Amino acid sequence: MKRQKPTFKPYDQGQLMVLPPTLEELIAADHPVRVVNQIIDKINLVPLLKKYKGGGCSSYHPRMMLKVLIYGYLSNIYSSRKLEAATRENIYFMWLSGMEQPDHNTLNRFRSERLKGIIKQIFSEVVLLMASSGHVDLQQVYTDGTKIESSANRYTFVWGKAIKTSRERISKQLEELWQYAEQVAKQELADQTPTQFAAIDPEEVRKTIELIDRALEDKPVAKKIRQKVKYAKKHWPGQLKSCQEKESILEGRNSYSKTDKDATFMRMKEDHMGNGQLKPAYNVQISTSDQIIAHYSIHQNPTDTLTLKSHLDTFQQELGAKPKELVADAGYGSEENYDYLASNQIEAYVKDNYFDKTQHKNELAKGNFHPDNLHYNNDLNCYYCPMGQHMKFIGNKVETTKSGYQRRLSRYQACNCNGCPIRGACHKSENDRIIEVSHHLIELRKRARELLNSEKGVAHRKKRPVDVEPVFGMIKQNRGFRRFLLKGIEKVTIEFGLVALAHNMMKLCTLIDLKGFLAAFLHLLLYTLSCITINARLQKRFLPAKLIPILS
Ligand code: SF4
């Protein structure tokens, strides 16, 4: 059989166009870049414009720069060099930038300097715009947190405990030296008041060592002691000064990184080395509604429990009011948080640590030695232990948490645990068992459990894992944003703001697409039904008898 000659479509790279298309014409009407463009065109950028002093060389328009950055984060392009390349090569960026080509330094300066202190306002402006169009509900939010690695070096840790130990060691050795010097040179040190060894200060230490050195100068002391005094004179004041500086950076944290002093070492879930190593990171808290981020805050504390208050305070500052209902997991179920939510009239759909156990009888049975499972007699103010023994009230105790919140604990003690057959399973104390209970927490927890078990609470519990948690998946897995590029909490806030803006705009595109799809589907359905009705009227015999009355 004769082989046919292949034919190809015309290919001419030098083909001229009479009316070349504009970039606008090349971009699809429903492309996400149009959503970014429209939203940023709508928002008020006065605070950002105020950041420009005026005079000198003209600047790129901040609206254009912002659009380019947000669209970059939406397209998984985070590096300023890649963004610079995109404004030359990618028609969506070329359209957004109006064919301007800012270089990577300009883009980076805009991101890390111009957006400082402004990003939250821009983010809130966009959220309020989405709320006014009904895309996000600010009254009902789902809150959760994730840890995102800092761009700091992983092995540059400074530990608060090591600083404390070092100060204590110097203090102890200085006291020993002083006592030794007092024995050897009693006369020389007779009029000197000893330093406050506990509240150790570099200047005080320097003076004390000089005193010891002068007092021991002409005394026959061991070579080891002289060497120690010499070492202390040379190193201790400097070491203590460095300790003071490090403590001022720590600000109550347990650790920080030398290359990003705002980052704290935290245990990460995604540990690719699988060795439970701590990494410098930030704790990102978000509140979502239908997978749209309504609010975010960055924290240096790894514990979610301690972040809720400040997260909700900034929620109010930035969006004008706190939410009416908050849904969160057991990580937030502390007395302080329940108390805060109750005093701010926020309905707390927040689990406590034992909530899941209360849902399963078998699990509950395993922990029947826990104070929560012991019977309380309100009239007599006493508990009954698992053996039915009366546990009498022995007093109150006030406990201050890490955040400064004061809890009032009531203490109850069993009368005689000696010879009890289940003592080993009940408690490990050598004396009679003592339990400490916060009646205020019990009340707050009871209210939260009632809410969680209500019809609305069950719906919230079902929705929480598909509302807030997938957002972290989308950001970390789909967008590949697992590590910040910038250093310092201010710049990290900017970066996450851009990530959140990009996420919200992408979500908005999906919602618009879904609406369009539903409208088209409804249109098609109505059209099909009307055709069937006409057909049915014409040819009733082809339709099932039951369907005819419905369609006509
Ligand atoms: S050990 Fe003491 S508190 Fe525990 S069940 Fe026995 S008697 Fe009661």
Task: Give the pLDDT band (50/70/90) at residue 549.
Answer: very low
**Of 415, 440, 465, which one is at a domain's C-terminal end?**
440
The fraction of the chain above a pLDDT of 70, given in percent, is: 88
Domain-located, residue 379? yes
The Cα 486–Cα 496 span in angstroms is 10
Same domain, 171 and 252: yes
Domain-located, residue 193? yes
Same domain, 107 and 29: yes
Residues 6+ apart with CB under 8 A from 147: 266, 268, 269, 281, 282, 283, 284, 302
Q: How many domains does the chain have?
A: 3
**Of 206, 238, 256, which one is at a domain's C-terminal end?**
256
Quick one: residue 56, left, alpha or beta (phi over 0 = left, psi -120 to 50 = alpha)? Answer: left
Give the global pTM: 0.85
What confidence score (pLDDT) does residue 541 get? 47
Domain-located, residue 58? yes
Same domain, 183 and 97: no
CB 149 within 8 A of CB 280: yes
Q: Is the distance from the beta carbon of residue 425 to the nearest atom of ligand 1 less than 6 Å? A: no
At 97-114, the pLDDT tens digits run 999 999 999 999 999 999
Task: Give the pLDDT band (50/70/90) at residue 531.
Answer: low
**Of 386, 414, 440, which one is at a domain's C-terminal end?**
440
- Give distance in angstroms: CA of 375 to centre of ligand 1: 13
Same domain, 111 and 162: no
Domain-located, residue 97? yes
Same domain, 175 and 111: no
Ligand 1, residue 417: give the atom nearest the CA: 2
* Tokens coding 182: 């007092």
> What Cα–Cα distance (Å) separates residue 545 from each residue in 532, 535, 552?
14, 14, 12
Domain-located, residue 482? no
Same domain, 27 and 109: yes
Q: Is the distance from the beta carbon of residue 434 to the nearest atom of ligand 1 less than 6 Å? A: no
* Tokens coding 522: 């409804």
Which residue range is the domain that position 64 belongs to? 23-115
Give the residue, by CA position, lying nearest to ligand 1 atom 4: 426
Domain-located, residue 87? yes
Q: Is the distance from the beta carbon of residue 268 to the nearest atom of ligand 1 less than 6 Å? A: no
What confidence score (pLDDT) does residue 429 get? 87
Task: Give the pLDDT band (50/70/90) at residue 149.
Answer: very high
Picking from 110, 108, 99, 96, the residue whose alpha carbon sits closest to that of residue 67 is 96
CB 207 within 8 A of CB 184: no
Same domain, 235 and 167: yes
The Cα 490–Cα 404 span in angstroms is 25
Q: Is the distance from the beta carbon of residue 506 to the nearest atom of ligand 1 less than 6 Å? A: no
Domain-located, residue 95? yes
- Give distance in angstroms: CA of 372 to centre of ligand 1: 15
At 162-185, the pLDDT tens digits run 999 998 898 888 888 888 888 877
The Cα 29–Cα 34 span in angstroms is 7
Same domain, 176 and 249: yes
What confidence score (pLDDT) does residue 521 get? 60
- Give distance in angstroms: CA of 367 to centre of ligand 1: 14
The Cα 232–Cα 239 span in angstroms is 10
CB 278 within 8 A of CB 266: yes
The Cα 406–Cα 146 span in angstroms is 27
Q: Is the distance from the beta carbon of residue 51 to the nearest atom of ligand 1 less than 6 Å? A: no
* Tokens coding 38: 């429209």
Is pLDDT above 60 for 479? yes
Picking from 172, 183, 187, 185, the residue whose alpha carbon sits closest to that of residue 228 is 172
**Strand partners of residue 387:** none
The Cα 183–Cα 212 span in angstroms is 11
